[in-house]
Structure 1
Amino acid sequence: MVTDTPSSAPPPPVPETPLRVLLPQILPALVVGVAASLLFLGIELVAEEFQHVLWEILPDALGIGGFSSLWMIVMLTATGIAVGLVVWKVPGHAGADPATTDLAGAPIAPAVVPGLLLASVLALAGGVSLGPENPIIAANVALAYWLGRKAQPALPGALWVSLASAATIGALFGTPVAAALVISEALVHQPGGRGSLWDRLFAPLVAAGAGSMTASVLSDHTFDMSLPQVTDPGWSDLLAAMVVATLAALFGLLACYGFPHVHRFFKRMRHPMLMLPAGGLVLGLLGALGGHLTLFKGLEEVKELTSNIGGWSSGELARMAVVKLVALLVAASCGFVGGRVFPAVFIGAAFGLLAQALVPEIHPAVAVSSGVLGVLLATTRQGWVSLFVAAVISSSPAILAVLCLASLPAWLVVTGRPQLELDASGASLR
């Protein structure tokens, strides 16, 4: 007679519910969100104070115009020397070649962070045409990954990376929506992810919300350009947006095609104390040609540009767009630390205003937002971020559908083309 006997095997583990997985992530996400935002605001504050000294107090004391051609050439060359010294002598050499980095990447060693932030502050204050986004994200990711694994080793390392990235992007753009878009694009390239999309976005969104709210409370950092509102877009607006965005994308691609060649030219100098001062000198000459609005990261300058719609001639706008595009190309090629998004916004706004100056029937908000959309698509190759920034700049919900459709022909122009990023061998990524 055969009888059933109880099995000695342990019962299968009960899978954790999404709620039990997500709730413990809230506190780390909030801490990382606030801390990442504070580091970003601190770096911005230091850079702005140093900029005030370099471009206002010091030239006034010397009796020289702060934005005279001579001072721009001297300051940008001196900035190249200063950043070159950091890259040469400071431990970690300010990280990898900036031409090979983008908004997201593997965590760098914590020892590299001080030199990276110092090089970023010097470039921001000195007037280099690069933004703060890449070095700030890299620094926050490195610190969160290092400290997070020590504080809570049970949490996966990838979570700390996504929290720091989302928090910094939320602070940079003033809203967690931008972070959600960037992280969702990154998740597409991560095979084997478990859980629904919103489960995977939950903790990064908490961090991004904390980061953006901290930045909003403590600063007036915004992408709102106070452009005239588009209340009832029609077919003519859609046609104009498609044409401007596509032409702007083609314009932005010029920098992408030239990037490996300009980078190779500076790399032949072999030493940061030759590459960066030479790049600084070129940037100073470009600043003298394009005027003071073509200096610095570009966010405050684009607000000044768009506050005087109709006050710029087509020649002035064309000069500023070309000079800023070349300045971005040179700054990214010669070794300066910084991101491409902020200067690309200025380039796109100048290009859009140029289109509006040539064809006054185009609504200014349509022209500017479409120009920004096209240049960002070309230089970042991140569709959601490009669309989001263009929509935020217009501050008009009615234009969102127009921009969505305008992104389609512009994307056909840029997809598969060289990017404004190189691989380790110096070849363009596609």
Structure 2
Amino acid sequence: MTTPGPLALLRQTPAAVVVGIGCALTLVGLSALAEALQALVWDDLTDALGIDADSWWWIVLVLTLTGLAVGLVVQLVPGHAGPESATAELVSEPMPLSAVPGLALALVLMLAGGVSLGPENPIMVINASLSVILGLRLVPRIAAPEWMGWSVAATIGAMFGTPVAAALMLTEAQMGDPRIPLWHRLYAPLFAAAAGSATMLLISDSSMRLDVPGYAGFQVGDLGWAVGVALLTALLGLAASYLITPLYRAFQSLRYPVVALTVGGFLLGWLGVLGGRETLFKGLEEMSQVTDHIDDYSVAELSLMVVVKIAALLVAAAAGFRGGRIFPSVFVGVVAGWAVVGVFDSAPVPVVIAAGALGITIAATRSGWLALFLAAVIVPDIELLPLLLVATLVVWLVVAGRHELRADPVAGSGA
């Protein structure tokens, strides 16, 4: 295969930038809709009715009705809200255009209702579908794999606010023809990722950074803390990975998505009552709230949140809600890290929190680069990188070849 020259790469730049901006706007738009609906249900409506939003019956009611609503979308809307997130990879094949609205609606309802999943999988599919369909119509000389690759990079860049995550994941995935130089292959996708990141930075103020004490500097003992905590949360992720398939099959035995999702929503409501409001929703804002008010929580309360959030993640995915498992997993890792700090007050806080997020992300995604990047974003201190890299390698030895946090499809289900 001939290596594309500089002019060929340059001609791809405008299209890649447009994809990046478009993918970021789609993410922002759907997130804004979900936030508006969330505020309406959990704040405005409860205030108007004089209801305590933390009342057990309101939490159970809202989650059950969310399950019913998403179930009706999955069962009745054309396209059935796309691929099942429980069995899907982070990056799935594009859908027909007619299926995109159903998946978008299921995503918005899920996020607003308090379900313990993030937007990753659905927004990846939505952006890939729109990019491929519109791209082939407008610029047919660019093939579908290029449009899809650019949308994936753009969406990753937009979700995490930096193109670095896209660069790391694309390198790990070894995308494109290996005979072509790496930076030729990364050129257009990274332009898309940079455009997506820049768009997010311009119109959104969201950040994953946690307000934790600064790192005091490398100590040999810190390596033990990083490896130990990363292994602890990785084992939590592995335990969950062996539970998701039997739970998924149990929900599949209910036969009808509307029944499975309503039951799933009901169970999620009771889990929310048990774990508290912090264990609802995707987990990013909630892990910041826990961090900002960490003195208000005992070790027992933090440990309960970890267990409940894992259970809620498993139920939500297995029941058929459309959403990703990365963000709630990061919540589990961060809160588990705080629980460790609560037991061992001499533990280096930034090391433990970053390592907690790192370990479970590797177990959930099998992406060392993504896990390392997320840990570095949550606790951004370059001096932590040697510790986190060693922890990544050790955790990889434990999780490699073992079951992923993804359900095995039921035979004949078409998933």
Into which bin does the TM-score normalised by the smaller protein fall?
Answer: over 0.9
Q: Which moved more, 1:198-207 or 1:102-111?
A: 102-111
- Corresponding letter in the other structure for 1:365: P
Q: Structure 2 residue aligned with 1:342, among 302, 312, 327?
A: 327
1:110 aligns with 2:97: yes
TM-score (norm. length: structure 2):
0.97
| Superposed counterparts of 1:396-411, under 5 Å | 396-411=381-396
Q: What is the match of residue 301 of structure 2? A: 316
Instruction: Give how far 1:309 is off.
Output: 3.3
Contact 2:249 2:410 in 1 (8 A): no
Q: What is the match of residue 155 of structure 1? A: 142
Considering only CA atoms, is the larger Rg found in Structure 1 or Structure 2?
Answer: 1
Query: How many angstroms apart in 2 are the aligned matches of 1:331 and 1:79?
Result: 11
Q: What is the match of residue 275 of structure 1? A: 260
Instruction: Give how far 1:181 is off.
Output: 1.4
Query: How many angstroms apart in 2 are the aligned matches of 1:401 and 1:286?
Result: 38
Query: How many angstroms apart in 2 are the aligned matches of 1:348 and 1:274?
Result: 31
Cα deviation code 1:21-69 (max 9, x no counterpart): 2101100011000011001000010000000001011112222111211
Q: Which moved more, 1:414-423 or 1:118-127?
A: 414-423
Contact 2:158 2:199 in 1 (8 A): yes
Q: Structure 1 residue aligned with 2:357, among 358, 372, 377?
A: 372
Instruction: Give how far 1:343 is off.
Output: 0.5
Contact 1:178 1:388 in 2 (8 A): yes
Q: Secondary structure at the match of 1:360?
A: coil
Cα deviation code 1:355-395 (max 9, x no counterpart): 11111111111111111001111111111001100111111
CA distance 1:231–1:204, change in 2 (3 Å) = farther
Instruction: Give how far 1:338 is off.
Output: 0.4
Instruction: Give how far 1:173 is off.
Output: 0.4
Contact 2:318 2:407 in 1 (8 A): no
Query: How many angstroms apart in 1 are the aligned matches of 2:57 and 2:317?
Result: 23
Contact 1:226 1:395 in 2 (8 A): no
Cα deviation code 1:136-165 (max 9, x no counterpart): 110000000011111111112111001111
Q: Secondary structure at the match of 1:100?
A: coil
In the alignment, structure 2 segments of 5+ residues that lack a partner are: none
Q: What is the match of residue 256 of structure 1? A: 241
Query: How many angstroms apart in 1 are the aligned matches of 2:102 and 2:58?
Result: 26
CA distance 1:211–1:238, change in 2 (3 Å) = same
Query: How many angstroms apart in 2 are the aligned matches of 1:311 and 1:361?
Result: 19
Q: What is the match of residue 85 of structure 1? A: 72
CA distance 1:303–1:178, change in 2 (3 Å) = same
Number of corresponding residues: 412
Query: How many angstroms apart in 1 are the aligned matches of 2:158 and 2:85?
Result: 22
| Superposed counterparts of 1:213-362, under 5 Å | 213-362=198-347
Instruction: Give how far 1:344 is off.
Output: 0.7
Query: How many angstroms apart in 2 are the aligned matches of 1:332 and 1:113?
Result: 19
Query: How many angstroms apart in 1 are the aligned matches of 2:377 and 2:95?
Result: 31
1:65 aligns with 2:52: yes
Query: How many angstroms apart in 2 are the aligned matches of 1:34 and 1:376?
Result: 27
Q: Structure 1 residue aligned with 2:180, among 178, 195, 203?
A: 195
Q: What is the match of residue 45 of structure 1? A: 32
Contact 1:80 1:280 in 2 (8 A): yes
Instruction: Give how far 1:422 is off.
Output: 3.1
Q: What is the match of residue 6 of structure 1? A: none
Q: What is the match of residue 135 of structure 1? A: 122
CA distance 1:204–1:17, change in 2 (3 Å) = closer
Q: What is the match of residue 381 of structure 1? A: 366
Query: How many angstroms apart in 1 are the aligned matches of 2:67 and 2:146?
Result: 36
Q: What is the match of residue 84 of structure 2? A: 97
Q: What is the match of residue 419 of structure 1? A: 404
1:186 aligns with 2:168: no
Instruction: Give how far 1:426 is off.
Output: 6.4
Query: How many angstroms apart in 2 are the aligned matches of 1:363 and 1:232?
Result: 10
Contact 2:251 2:318 in 1 (8 A): yes
Query: How many angstroms apart in 1 are the aligned matches of 2:69 and 2:227?
Result: 43
Q: What is the match of residue 56 of structure 1? A: 43
Q: What is the match of residue 5 of structure 1? A: none
Q: Secondary structure at the match of 2:86?
A: helix
Instruction: Give how far 1:255 is off.
Output: 0.9
Q: Secondary structure at the match of 2:297?
A: coil
Query: How many angstroms apart in 1 are the aligned matches of 2:214 and 2:396?
Result: 25
TM-score (norm. length: structure 1):
0.93
In the alignment, structure 1 segments of 5+ residues that lack a partner are: 1-12
- Corresponding letter in the other structure for 1:89: L
Contact 1:231 1:398 in 2 (8 A): no
Aligned Cα RMSD in Å? 1.5
Query: How many angstroms apart in 1 are the aligned matches of 2:354 and 2:228?
Result: 12
1:177 aligns with 2:164: yes
Contact 1:263 1:334 in 2 (8 A): yes
1:166 aligns with 2:158: no
- Corresponding letter in the other structure for 1:287: G
- Corresponding letter in the other structure for 2:27: F
Query: How many angstroms apart in 1 are the aligned matches of 2:39 and 2:179?
Result: 49
- Corresponding letter in the other structure for 2:5: P
Contact 1:318 1:354 in 2 (8 A): yes
Contact 2:222 2:387 in 1 (8 A): yes
Instruction: Give how far 1:194 is off.
Output: 3.7
